[in-house]
Amino acid sequence: MQSDLEKLHRLFPYWIEHNEEHAQKFEDWARRAREIGLEEVAARLTRAVQLLRDANRELEAGYEWLKVSKLPYV
């Protein structure tokens, strides 16, 4: 059975990649919304991208701390 520590070691990279995939899709939809004159929608999507990438920076920092903490997880 996996410990919570083992799960975290596997989840952090997944969460980061998953968020980035969403950010890329939001960027595409922001561009598309802008092309049809939906500036407010585009602005909200662009803000969502910024927030996802801010969240990813926090996740990356947490993951780095976990990796250098030398906690035994096996």
Q: Is the pLDDT of residue 50 over 60?
A: yes
Task: Please tell me the predicted confidence (pLDDT) of residue 7.
Answer: 94
* Cα end-to-end distance, the chain, whole Å: 10
Q: Could you tell me if residue 12 is inside a domain?
A: no
Band (1; pLDDT cuts 50, 70, 90): low
Q: Could you tell me if residue 72 is inside a domain?
A: no
Q: Could you tell me if residue 7 is inside a domain?
A: no
Task: Please tell me the predicted confidence (pLDDT) of residue 73.
Answer: 61
Q: Can you say how many angstroms the Cα of residue 23 is from the centroid of all Cα atoms in its chain? A: 7
Range of the domain at 55: 18-67
Structure tokens at 39: 């500036």
Mean pLDDT of 52-68: 97
Q: Could you tell me if residue 41 is inside a domain?
A: yes
Count of the separate structural domains present in the chain: 1
- The number of residues in the chain equals 74
Element (H, E) at 26: helix 4-35
Neighbours of 19 (CB within 10 A): 18
* Gyration radius of the chain's alpha carbons: 17
Q: Could you tell me if residue 2 is inside a domain?
A: no
Q: Could you tell me if residue 4 is inside a domain?
A: no
Q: Is the pTM of this model over 0.85?
A: yes
